[in-house]
Structure formats: structure tokens, C-alpha cells
A and B are shown apart, each in its own frame.
Chain A
Amino acid sequence: MTVAIPQTLREALAFSSANPNAQIIQGGTDLMVEINFNHRKPTDVIALRRVEEIRNYAYTADKSKVIVGAGLPYQKMEHGEIAELFPALAQAARTVGSPQIRAAGSIGGNLGTCSPAGDALPVLSALNAEVNLRTETGSRDISVHDFMIGVKRNDRKPGELIISVTLPIIQGWQGYAKVGVRNAMVISVASCCLVVDRKLGAISVALGAVGPTIIRCRETEQWLATQIDLKSISAVAPNLLKEFGERIANESKPIDDHRSTAAYRRHAVATLSRRLLVRANTK
């Protein structure tokens, strides 16, 4: 086994282009578990921990968006500027694992693994994030919706590195909530991210752990926009709230497994989405 430890992004891209089947490791909080279980036996590894260029964030030139490095650990999203700009991302980051995991784990890794229970992913989906991929010679930006293609499957091509995600700054309330069977350090049983865009008068709702990949509830989003004026803050009538939750649940596609039941998961996303909508319309 060879381990490349590039110090710069350029070096990293050179390594990955030269060895497109090398296994990328960022925080290792998913990969090392898989290696320990013998699910993966990498022969060549590229470790990104030293690549500082992907461990920070920056505004786009027009300041309308923020580019978050794929290697930025969750810990750095919990507080500070990122948390102020993207509260839902901060909340999702705080629910990930333990302090040790949050010191190492990253959005790049969450996208790389692409588990339906990945906590950053519903937020990326609700924010309509773009995933920025790069090789030594080229780059492409792809909508997160197109990037996530199935249970633990994504659109990354051999040799590509996820270098960042681009998140639009949205005026309006946003939040993330996750149900697990204990109060911390738990894999999601069901989760929901809700983002209100007050300028456009639009809402987006994304669900985690209730389908093969993250589910965007587009029908319900459009329906709600016809029911209330999302450009202003106003209380949502109880019957509307109820229907909202039911519609969200209908868009979910959960299964029964050892962590929970499909019925509970449906109930949970209905409840979480209603609660988030109420929070959005009281603040």
C-alpha cells in the first residue's frame, strides 16, 4: 500500500489524476470504519488532511455565495461566520457524531460516502448546493441533486476530487432537525432540513434517512407556495400545517430496518417538517 500525503491541492490533483483508482481519505471517519471491517482494501491512498486549500471557506466575487472547502471539519461550521450564514449547516454539523468525529469529518467525506443518513446532505440539498469537482486538467460543477444518485452512490468519476461545495446565501429562516434514539452521537432515523427564501417566496424541504438518497419534497414545496405567502412571516393555520406534514410524509420512501420502522419514519418527517415550518414562521 502506498500513501500519498500531498501538501497542496495541485499535488493532490496530480496524484489522483496519475492514480485514478487511489482511495481518497479526508477525515477517515467513514473510510477507516470500512477498512476495519474489510469492506474496502485500498492499495493506494491519497490523504488530503494536509491540503489547506480545501480546509477553509471563501465568498464568491459577488458575495452571493460561499464556497466551503470539502475538507473543512464540521467543528469549524458549528460556530462563527458559517454558522451565521447557514444555521441549518451548523445545526447539522453539531449533530454529527462526537467532538472527535467532528474534528475530523468533512462535507467532502459525507458526499463521498453518500449515505442517505449523512447529516450534511439534506442541508446541501435544501440549499441547492453545487458540488465542485476537479481533476489535474479539468473541473466541473454539478448540482448536489445530480451528484447523489443512490444509496452510497454518487457521480464522482475516477481521478476527480471533490474540492468544495458552493452554497447560496439565502435571506430567510433555515433549520435542520434529526431524530435518533439517543440524545447525541447517533445515526439519523429521520431528518429534515427546511429553508425559506423570503426574497423568492419559496421554501425547500429535504429529508434524510427516509429513502435511498436525500429526498427533496418538490411537490409539497410548490403546493405550500400556493397556500401561503412565503415572502412574509405569518402564522400557518393548523389544518394547513397538518396537510403540509402529511404531504411531506407522502414524499418520503422509508423502509423498516433495525433502527426503526417505515411507519415511524414517515411520522417523524411529518412532525419534524411541521415543527420546522412553525419555527420558520415565528422568527
Chain B
Amino acid sequence: MSNATKISTNRDILGASALRPDGAAKVSGKFEFSSDLHAEHMLWGATLRSPHPFARIISIDFSAAYKISGVEAIITAQDVPGKKTYGLIASDQPVFASEIVRYVGEPIVAVAADHPETCRRALAAIKVVYEVLTPITDAEVALLPQTLQIHPDGNLIRHQRIVTGDQDLQGDVIVEGTYEMGMQDQAFLGLEAALAIPDSGGAGVEMYVATQWLHEDQKQIAACLNLPLDKIRLTLGGVGGAFGAREDISLQVHCALLALHTSRPIKMQYSREESFYGHVHRHPAKIWIRHHATRSGVIQRIESRMVFDGGAYASTSSAVLINGITHIQGPYKCSNATVDGFAVRTNNPPCGAMRGFGVVQACYAHESQMDKLAVACGLSPVEVRLVNAMVTGDKLITGQVVESVAPVARCITETDSIAMPAPLAHDANALEIVGGSGLTSLPHNIVRGVGWGVSIKNLMYSDSFDDFATARCRLQDGVVHLKYATVEVGQGFVILAPQIARSVLGVDEVVIDPVDTRIGSAGSTSASRQTWMSGGAVDGACRLVRQRLFEHVGKLHDIDPLRLVIEDTDVVDMLGDFRISVIEASTGVLFEETFEHHHRPTEELDANGQGNCHVAFAFVAHRAVVDVDVELGLVKVIQIATAQDVGRVLNPIAALGQIEGGIAQGLGLAVMEEIVLDNGKMRNPSFTDYLLPTALDAPEVVAIMIEEPEPQAPLGAKGIGEPPCISVTPAIAAAIRNATGRDLPRVPIRPQDICL
């Protein structure tokens, strides 16, 4: 028997504001991002891209490029040994365009050379002759039957309807509108980069890459290279943000191909400008929507037509569409619906995943409508939302019953209880009011407005997809080793995983093994899913190990393992006075378990859009207070108040980080972030002109986390990554409407939209 005594420590277990281990390194510039990777004798890879949104490739001549000393390889579609195309859902995107280019920036050739500058010269020396075609850049035009189909798969990526209930119902109150959203970029700070090291003999490749999902990359790379899966081994390179833009393949296949071609390590990395061309964006959307309601504001029916511009290739457009149409009712009860959704192919840059995934577009439309409904019924924005707030057990327009905890009303009332910011002082510091350092405005030029946004967001993948997660736990000598392929993109799994292990196993020392494909998939770091899914896998593996430990201790000390529990860092007999430290109990013994966490199965929607297509839901409310210089159309967001349904807070500081970051991203979409397109060409592929919020643009955030543990979730915690950025955009738009009296049916709202 041990005489270990119980020591109470400030341990970094679940619930503690444990600090991320990579935090200081990132802030001080010491963190190794993928773009910092290096290998002996490596070559650099670079990509030649189309300058045209739509053109036929007549010829490619790289004889001059080959003559440049230092150029080691030039590859095109002909050099792709396996599948010539890739894609997350439909495999419709060529690794290299060979006959037709369908968007500006589409890859045509890749080169490998001894220096980035040699690469640049080689690209400049390649002569591509194009027959320029007229691009189709309007999604509505692309849908017309007489329009040229710009891809063999057609211009319609997916059409899905939701038809339920009374199709003829007319409400006493009817409000409608058409809402538009521009193309937002994920604008992560760590640019795309990878290092590929070929196996000797060229039978495989070792890759270090910044991605969101190692196993999906592995699968797609292997198919294009025509190699077995186990010949493509991926290790996660340091990731500097993702927000959806790293779900699709960018440079992975090119980099691996060049490595096999040259038998040398290849480093590829994009510049900021190339990054804008090299990844998918948030779908621009146009949404018509009509609400039927009673005079007291109760929603009876919605009708909607939603068009998402998917750009040149499918990426995840079809899933984005499903999310859009299935969330168009918002977090509100509604039994009758007629919804028509289209994901459309155009010659615009391809669009795919971005934080909020289709729900951002839907939410902007339904929340704009809620305010119209409030006015029509003489209700306040809060009242109209409370009247309609959904609860657990409600049936969605897809027929799915909301089984998740659904504290919608509580999100609204708790947000409403947050104190309003102080009124703008007449002697306010000029830098801190609208116009900021531009000194455009004085307090008397400024009008304050308040607006609301509330949202519902699905968690995990939908539509019958089994996006499971795998984790292995090893305990020996009081030290836990965790192994998983869960990608850290900044969301904080790197601290959450050890917190889980410490809580379950009573250890303090937790080592995270390299994140790579030498274990089963963890699924993607997206859809607000890793805390739930990989958290569930780590929790499951640790619990299995704990069971082995209890069995071991029980056997040695003749105690029924069922009586044993972990208390702090000890194994304790609940019914007796036996106690042994986990360190001692595990000395010289190895316990190892692997666990796969699967969420409950989901279904595909039927022709009428009916089916249990989602796993679970999370809710959030936002109230925005903005100051507007109405005459100049300039905006400053003063405060965002929010109450978010989080299930359970596992790490308060990390949760707050997600909330504040999401709000900044939603603010960007509301008032400044847009890729400006002109006939398929990006006009602002740089941080000079693609504007992200600065510290002077970021509002005060007052956040309440509503903790009602989710029974379905392994740790009781819901995903919290996406909700913060969803309803904050319509809340800000509503606040600007409130200040200006303008309609503002499109975001981002530009100065000229307000004042001209």
C-alpha cells in the first residue's frame, strides 16, 4: 500500500484556462510554420497559373524555360500518373489544366528549380497560347438553359429543394427581400506550404504539409500519384490558420509529383497573392426569401430561393448548399416551407469551405427578415425572436427533430441583459471613434445603432457522412503519450487533448506524438467538430486505459476495479482507504488503447429535402452596437454582446479566443472583407486591398457562455468555432440599418451603400 498523500494542485485539467503550449512561440516568432520547413538538397517548386477566367489552351512551349540553368523539372497534366482530377466531393478539378482553363489562377504547369528566383524566371519563360473565351461569371446566367456548359459535369453543381407542410399558406403578415453576400476570403496568416521528400527508388513520398485533414489529403494525393495509400505518408507542418481554406488540395499533389519526378526534396510555398488564387473562398450568394407570419409575429411559412456561386470547380459546394437551405429557417420554429437551392458553376474563383459553411449566407438573409417582420408586427427585434425561438424537440423544415440542447431564448435574453456601452462622449478620443486615425468625424457627425442576430449551426459533417476520429493513449511511468491525426489550425486541440488526459487519468505529464497518418483518421478540423470528435476519441482512449489501470491495480491489491476512481493524481478506492499515485501504479507497466469516436449516423435528404441530415446543433445570439458617420458612410463597431450555447466550457480562455476571433471575422464580412471580382478577375489579391479588421476596428466583446451540457457530446461540450462568426454579421448590418434607415440588402456594406 502506498502512503501517497492527496495534493491539491492547480492542474491544467478540463475547465482550467490552460495556456496553449505553442502560444508563446507563435507570438515571439519562434513557431515553425510549414513555410519554415527545410531539407538538405531541396529544390523549390512553383506553379504557372492561368491569367484568363475561361480559355482554351492551344499550346504550351517550355523549351526556353528548360534552358534556364537550375531548372530541374517542368511538369504538366501529362505527367500525372494516376487520376488527373481531384476534389473533396466530386473529383472535377484537374491537377493541371490541359485543354481548358476555367478560372484565373488555375494551375497549368509546375516547375522545380534550385531557387525561387529560378522558378520565377522559368515560369516567365513558359509560353502558353490561349484562345480566350467569354467567361460566365453570373450564377443566374450560368443556370439558364441556353448558357454554355463550362464543364463536362455541367453548370449546376447541385439543386436541392425542401418542400414541407402547407404549400399555399398565406400569412396575414408577409415580408420579403433579396439579400446578397460578397466573396469573403479566409485570409489565414500562415501561407500554404509543403515539403515533399521522395523515398529512395521513388516508390513513395514523405510529406510535411499545412492542411486541415491529413488522411483526406493522403487519399487524394495517392489517387493522383497512382500509389498505394501507405506510400504517401503525411506529417502535419505548422499551420497558421485555416478557416476552411485548407480543406481542399492546393499544392500537395504538385509538390509530391515534383519530388518523385526529380528524386529530390521539394519545397513549395505560396505568396500572399498566390494564396488568394490557390485556395477556395466563401460562396457569394443571392437569397430571395419571403416570410409568412401571424399578426403577432409567429412564423408560419417560409419561401426561399438560394443561389450559391460555386466558381469553377465543385469543391464542397454541394454540402455548403445543403447547409444553406437547411438553416434558412434560422433558430426559429416553422412548419411550412418551400425552399429551392442551387449551387452553380461559373468562371469565378472556386468556392468551398469557410467558417460557417453556408449558414453564414442563410443567417444574413433570415436575420434581415426577422427585423422586417418585427417592424411589420410592431415588435422589437428581441420580441420577434423570442416569439419564434425554437426549443429542443421542435421539428425542423427537414422533418428532423432537434434533439440537441437548444437554449435559443436564453441566448437572446442573456445577451439582452448585457449592459449597453456608454454613449459616445462629446470629447471622445478622435482615434477611437468612427474614422479612426483618418480624423474624418466628430461626435456630432455620428449616429449610434443597435442590431440583433441569432443563429443555429449544425455541428460535424452531415448528409450520411461518417466523419469519425481516432486516438491512441499510452500510459507508462505516469506519463501519457497521445497519438492522433487531429490537425491543430489554431483552435486549441493542442491544449485540450492533454487537459482531457489529465482529467481522465490523473497524470500531469502528457506528450503529444507527431501528428501524422501513422494512425487512423481524425477527420477534418472543420465543422466545429474536433472538440467533440477528436476530444471524444482521446477521452475514449484514455477511459479504456484507465480501465486497464484499474484492473491492474485491482489485481495487485485485491480490490474490485469497479471500486477504483481517479482523484487528482491518485487511484483511490471509493469504499476503502487504499490510495496509490498514478505514477507509482503505472511504473514499469505499459497500458495502450486506441479508440474511434463515431457520431450517430445521419441521412441524406430526399427529393423533398426531408431527412435527419444533421448530427447536432449549437445556437448563439449577438447584439451589435455601432457608430455610423451617416454622411460619409463610415462605421465603427463599438460593442458586440453575445451569449453562446457552448454545452460546457472546457477551457475558458480558449473558448473566449474562439468567440472574439469569430466576431472579428464576422465583422470583416459585414463592413470590409470582400474579394472584388471584375469579369472573373480578382482586383484585390493582397492585404493592401483585401481589408481585414485591425485593432482599431475590433469591438469590445462581452461574452456569456451558456453551459447546458449536451448529452450527445462526449465531453458535454458543443463545437464553438463557427457560431461566433455567423450571426454577428447580420447583427452589425441591422445596427447600421438602425442608425441610417437604409435597406442595406448586401454585405459587406460599403461607405457608398450608406451615404450615396
- A interface residue numbers (CB < 8 A to B): 37-38, 91, 94-95, 98, 175-187, 189, 191, 257-261, 263-264, 267-268, 271-272, 275, 279
Contact = CB atoms under 8 A, between A and B. Distances in A.
A181 B750 contact: yes
Given A268-B632, A275-B445, A184 B756 contact: no
A95 B752 contact: no
Given A187-B689, A267-B755, A182 B672 contact: yes
Contact of B688 (A38, A187, A279): A187
A121 to B, nearest CB: 15
Interface stretch (B151-159, B303-311, B691-699): B691-699
B683 interface: yes
A184 B695 contact: yes
Given A258-B683, A264-B756, A271-B632, A181 B676 contact: no
Nearest to B438: A178
B506 to A, nearest CB: 47
B751 A260 contact: yes
Interface string B152-195: 00000000000000000000000000000000000000000000
A27 B94 CA distance: 44
B522 to A, nearest CB: 37
B353 interface: no
Given A184-B694, A184-B696, A258-B684, A179 B438 contact: yes
A175 B436 contact: no
B751 A183 contact: no
A37 B671 CA distance: 28
B677 to A, nearest CB: 9
Nearest to A187: B688
A191 B684 CA distance: 21
A281 B727 CA distance: 44
A182 B683 contact: no
Given A271-B632, A275-B445, A182 B756 contact: no
A179 B756 contact: no
B696 A183 contact: yes
B691 A186 contact: yes
Interface of B: 120, 273, 431, 434-440, 442, 445, 631-634, 636, 671-672, 676, 678, 683-684, 688-689, 691, 693-697, 750-752, 755-756
Contacts of A185: 694
Given A268-B632, A271-B632, A179 B440 contact: yes
B438 A180 contact: yes
| Interface of chain B: mostly helix, strand, loop or mixed | loop
Contacts of A179: 435, 438, 440, 632, 634, 751
B683 A264 contact: no
Given A95-B437, A183-B636, A263 B756 contact: yes
Contact of A261 (B672, B684, B752): B752
A258 B437 contact: no
B193 to A, nearest CB: 17
A176 B439 CA distance: 8
A184 B693 CA distance: 9
B694 A264 contact: no
A271 B436 CA distance: 16
Given A179-B634, A187-B689, A275-B445, A264 B440 contact: no
9 contacts: A179-B634, A183-B697, A186-B438, A258-B678, A260-B750, A264-B756, A267-B756, A268-B751, A271-B632
A178 B691 contact: no
B697 A182 contact: yes
Contacts of A95: 437-439
B697 A184 contact: yes
A185 B750 CA distance: 17
A183 B752 contact: no
A141 to B, nearest CB: 31
B436 A183 contact: yes
A275 B695 CA distance: 26
Contacts of A184: 436-437, 694-697
B445 to A, nearest CB: 7
B693 A260 contact: no
A183 B635 CA distance: 9
Contact of B694 (A177, A182, A191): A182
Contacts of A178: 437-440
A182 B750 contact: no
A277 to B, nearest CB: 13
Given A183-B437, A187-B688, 12 more contacts: A91-B439, A95-B438, A178-B438, A179-B438, A183-B694, A184-B437, A186-B691, A187-B689, A259-B689, A260-B750, A263-B752, A264-B633
Contacts of B440: 177-179, 272, 275
6 nearest A-B residue pairs (beta carbon): A183-B436, A258-B683, A183-B696, A264-B752, A178-B438, A184-B696
